[in-house]
A and B are shown apart, each in its own frame.
Chain A
Amino acid sequence: MSTSSVDALATRLRTELGPGAVVTDEAARRTYECDGLTHYRAIPELVVLPDSAEEVQAVVRGCREYGLPFVARGSGTGLSGGALPVAGGVLIVTSRLRRILELDLRNGRAVVEPGVANLAISQAVAEAGWYYAPDPSSQLVCSIGGNVAENSGGAHCVKYGFTVHHVTGLEVCTSDGELVWLGARKSARSVGYDLVGVFVGSEGTLGIATKVAVRLLRRPEAVTTILAAFRTVADAGAATSAIIAAGLTPAAAEIMDALAIQAAEKAVNCHYPAGAGAVLIVELDGSAVEVAEEEAAVRELCAQSGSFELRVAADAAERAEIWKGRKSAFAAVGRISPQYIVQDGVIPRTALAEVLAEISALADRAGIRVANVFHAGDGNLHPLVLYDERVPGEHAAAEEVSGAILDLCVSRGGSITGEHGVGVDKAAKLPRMFTADDLDTMQLVRCAFDPAGRANPGKVFPTPRLCGEAPRHRSAGDAVEQAAQRAGIEAW
């Protein structure tokens, strides 16, 4: 692709979308050079801020005509480099697409634009007693379009499921520049293949969601948040297992280890029990009677597993106090380490104690510290691998430990990512979980949606599949492939 085609596209989009929607200034473009995974950087050749689905369509059509790859970006909070721009390509930012188009509580549904923040949906219906369930930690700012791309989870997905369980329909701009509705706005489902099911979590590689229909839930009658302190992470893990084994389905079950607690104390003074080697936060919700019954059961199971102190939030303020430490944990680690890697892996819940012991051994061998914060209810680990880049060799050692943790997850039958996505960061790791045939098969979907590979090239899959004969796309395909290769070289 040449600079001249980008210039031509920029000129055209200035006319079509207005000058304010097109960013060509290098300093301005640089602000979009990375997402939440900051060590991958690439400056997009052109940044466009469309204000409607039709404007997204205009940009994507332009990309098709000029053979340019495009990457969609919401709020840029992603942690796997999914919104990393392609150098030489176009970045489509959805931040102006912030309208809540429809709230229909009688059908428990909202239709929103992709730039709407996750929490804004819940806020819009809070007064009426409804909410949107998936709650990634970044929910205050992360966009629903980004959630769709990543199939985002959150602390409460152990009970309520992920984005894919709460999105019933999408308007999508395909890489051909067609706007098409998939799935249902208000119904349980639509006729034909479940294209919504495969689009959610495709990390921007199948097109751009321009409208999102989400399911809303009634706020539960009662919520109880329990904080239990244990001497060891193994005890906290055992308590979690006991809770699940007892047939309880907590709305959330989160564990922080000693190092994570230490960081959180430094950052936000969360006043967790002194001497805790681990804390377990259990949230229960539902009818008041059930929550009370379950709370009694959780208290007893925690005590049996060695909990030495247990607090129950009496009101919303106390609940927020308990969550404060957990929610700040990732950022708080910055207080105890100049740099750190946020890892995201999944193991069967029952392997928790064993895997944590092995992570600790890995860290010791490498002379690296690892703080653990995790969604214990579903076995989703977030080890925070700490390092100081001024110490020679420490960054490399941290990367090695971080990678070894993923290998550990896979060896236990788990996953290399539970909610942060593959993006650019873990594409090379995907073959640890899937065979070449599996990956080839997944890319058949890519070939159906985006045969020229213009949508977010270089992400998810380590090796792009050639999509057979598609003469009308060939010249564009070549340019895109080169871009994908470049992105690959820079990233890995």
Chain B
Amino acid sequence: MVKTVQPSSAAEVAEVLRDASAAGQTVVPRGAGTKFDWGDAPSTVDLVLDLRELRGLAEHAPADLVATVGAGTPLADLQAALAGAGQRLSVEVGSTAATVGGMLATGEGGPLRVRHGTGRDLLIGVEFVRADGVIAHSGGRVVKNVAGYDVGKLLCGSYGTLGVITSATFRLHPLPAARVWVCRTVQTPQDIHSLVGALLESTVEPTAVEVDLPALGPGTLAVLIEGTAGGVTKRAKSCRELLAGDVSTADTAPPWWNTYPFEPGDVALELVAPVDALHAAVYALHDAAGAAVPVRGSAGAGVVYATLPGSMPAGPVAAIVDAVRSVLLARDGSCVVLSVPPAMRGAVDLWGPVPGLDLMRRVKEQFDPARTLSPGRFVGGI
């Protein structure tokens, strides 16, 4: 039977992991659980380590633009606290209830990645607990620091298979004085391709370039422009000119902004491609599915999400994913199946080819030789 424990400090997390590894138990860490169905199902789970009690802003130095926060803190709470000082952590993620630790551990990014990258790029220090219960740190509390290995980067996107993040220190940014969304109606992936190419060539300096392409009807390309009032006005104007066509400007985001096209129970896909090849991946997806598939995400960064019905049998899902992968592989892209319905688990290869898998296995072997943490959840059965 799976037991859930809810430690309230790193020391307690360490104790749980020490005991669990001594007893040969397996442990799966979780935050808000918004992505608990992402990745493969762990081969065994004895303990669920609920980290939501590790919450709160431990330190915020506004003048240094740095904050340290408990891993179980909801990202939204962190942003609200920072906004009080006119600052933000420059990430938005589709799972809006996510905790900071969950966002980092799954490598979840969002629209702002065009300008600011993902949590990985803003993380300057981390505290975590190893599978054997040892508490460790890397990085620090200053924005510039090259002392020691940056183990924090390794933990980002590791799906809780290397260690349990208990606290994170981030570099912050001032809230922009002005922001505006320029939206344009688009019909096809080719439309998006041409417009995004022109945008990235321009001096519009978008913070985000998102696309929403529903299965039926026209889609939208939305460009977020941030900066000083005068600068935003001017860049929005050049953006409108550049996009031409059916363009509108708004000071609020379109309703689909920063949301995934999938829901729990769907097959959730993440397509990563060079910006210049993203349309090829989307066309491949449509061709393989035999119909238009809803696609949404960061066209400006070459990372978009798509969805297939959860009712589709595993065979066709695997065939569609394979077809997309074969197109992407030649173009340095990848297609990860973030989540499948329970019935499909094990029947679809979620990850596809993984360059450097042998080294990854060796890293896992060093950090968690007994396979205590989330065994089987990550690439190659790690």
A residues lining the B interface (CB < 8 Å): 104, 106-109, 150-151, 153, 157-158, 161-162, 164-165, 174, 178, 180-195, 197-198, 200-202, 218, 220-221, 241, 244-245, 247-249, 286-290, 293-294, 346-350, 375, 378-380, 413-422, 426, 430, 433-435, 437-442, 444-449, 460, 467
Q: A198 touching B336 by the CB < 8 A rule?
A: no
Name the residue of chain A whose CB is nearest to the CB of B331. Answer: A186
B53-64 toward A: CB 8 Å interface, digit per residue (1/0)? 000000001111
> Within B158-206, which residues are at the interface with A (CB < 8 Å)?
158, 162, 173-175, 177, 197, 200-203, 205
Q: A198 touching B151 by the CB < 8 A rule?
A: yes
Contact pick for B147, options A109, A244, A245, A430, CB 8 Å: A430
Once the chains are docked, how many angstroms separate the CA of A190 from the CA of B273?
9
A contact residues around B137 at 8 Å (CB): 434-435, 438
B17-25, B43-51, B224-232, B251-259: which lies at the interface: B224-232
Q: B228 touching A194 by the CB < 8 A rule?
A: no
Q: A414 touching B148 by the CB < 8 A rule?
A: no
From residue A198, how far is it (CB to closest CB) to chain B in Å?
5
Q: A187 touching B144 by the CB < 8 A rule?
A: no
From residue A67, how far is it (CB to closest CB) to chain B in Å?
20
Known: A417-B147, A438-B148, A439-B148. Is A287-B231 also a contact (CB below 8 A)? yes
8 additional A-B residue pairs with CB within 8 Å, beyond A187-B272, A194-B120, A445-B151? A106-B197, A192-B379, A286-B231, A287-B231, A419-B146, A433-B147, A445-B149, A460-B148
B contact residues around A447 at 8 Å (CB): 366
Q: A350 touching B63 by the CB < 8 A rule?
A: yes
Q: A413 touching B147 by the CB < 8 A rule?
A: no
B130 within 8 A of A: yes
From residue B348, how far is it (CB to closest CB) to chain A in Å?
15
Contact pick for B149, options A187, A201, A416, CB 8 Å: A201
From residue B89, how far is it (CB to closest CB) to chain A in Å?
15
Q: B332 touching A350 by the CB < 8 A rule?
A: no
B218-239 toward A: CB 8 Å interface, digit per residue (1/0)? 0000000001101101110000
A contact residues around B355 at 8 Å (CB): 180-183, 190-192
B30-38, B73-81, B284-292, B357-365: which lies at the interface: B357-365
Q: B332 touching A379 by the CB < 8 A rule?
A: no
A contact residues around B380 at 8 Å (CB): 192
Name the residue of chain B whose CB is nearest to the CB of A180. Answer: B356
Contact pick for B113, options A187, A188, A348, A446, CB 8 Å: A188
Q: B136 touching A438 by the CB < 8 A rule?
A: yes
From residue B335, how far is it (CB to closest CB) to chain A in Å?
9
Once the chains are docked, how many angstroms separate the CA of A380 from the CA of B143?
9
Q: B149 touching A202 by the CB < 8 A rule?
A: yes
B residues lining the A interface (CB < 8 Å): 61-66, 86, 107, 113, 117, 120-121, 130, 134-138, 140-151, 153-154, 156-158, 162, 173-175, 177, 197, 200-203, 205, 227-228, 230-231, 233-235, 272-277, 301-303, 331-334, 336, 351-360, 362-363, 365-367, 378-380
Name the residue of chain B whose CB is nearest to the CB of A152. Answer: B146
A contact residues around B233 at 8 Å (CB): 289
Q: B366 touching A286 by the CB < 8 A rule?
A: no
Name the residue of chain B whose CB is nearest to the CB of A185. Answer: B332
B contact residues around A293 at 8 Å (CB): 228, 230-231
Closest 8 CB pairs of A and B: A197-B153, A290-B231, A247-B174, A186-B274, A441-B136, A415-B145, A448-B362, A444-B366
16 A-B pairs in the complex with CB atoms less than 8 angstroms apart: A109-B274, A153-B146, A180-B356, A187-B332, A193-B363, A194-B157, A197-B120, A202-B149, A249-B173, A289-B231, A414-B140, A415-B146, A421-B146, A438-B136, A444-B367, A448-B359
Q: A195 touching B200 by the CB < 8 A rule?
A: no
Known: A161-B121, A187-B273, A198-B150. Is A346-B142 also a contact (CB below 8 A)? yes
A contact residues around B359 at 8 Å (CB): 174, 180, 182, 195, 448-449
Q: A289 touching B234 by the CB < 8 A rule?
A: yes
A contact residues around B61 at 8 Å (CB): 348, 350
From residue B59, how far is it (CB to closest CB) to chain A in Å?
9
Contact pick for A448, options B65, B135, B235, B366, CB 8 Å: B366
Contact pick for A187, options B174, B231, B334, CB 8 Å: B334
Known: A194-B153, A435-B137. Is A348-B230 also a contact (CB below 8 A)? no
Once the chains are docked, how many angstroms separate the CA of A104 from the CA of B332?
13
Name the residue of chain A whose CB is nearest to the CB of B367. Answer: A444
B contact residues around A192 at 8 Å (CB): 351, 354-357, 360, 378-380
Contact pick for A437, options B135, B230, B235, B366, CB 8 Å: B135
Once the chains are docked, how many angstroms separate the CA of A413 from the CA of B379?
37
Q: B367 touching A150 by the CB < 8 A rule?
A: no
Name the residue of chain B whose CB is nearest to the CB of A379. Answer: B142
Once the chains are docked, how many angstroms separate the CA of A289 from the CA of B231?
5
Which of B107, B137, B177 is the most central at the interface, judged by chain A CB atoms within 10 Å of its CB?
B137
Q: A247 touching B332 by the CB < 8 A rule?
A: no
Known: A349-B63, A433-B140. Is A164-B150 also a contact (CB below 8 A)? yes
Q: B203 touching A194 by the CB < 8 A rule?
A: no
From residue A214, how far is it (CB to closest CB) to chain B in Å?
14
Contact pick for A108, options B121, B200, B357, B363, CB 8 Å: B200
Known: A201-B146, A414-B140, A434-B148. Is A165-B121 also a contact (CB below 8 A)? yes
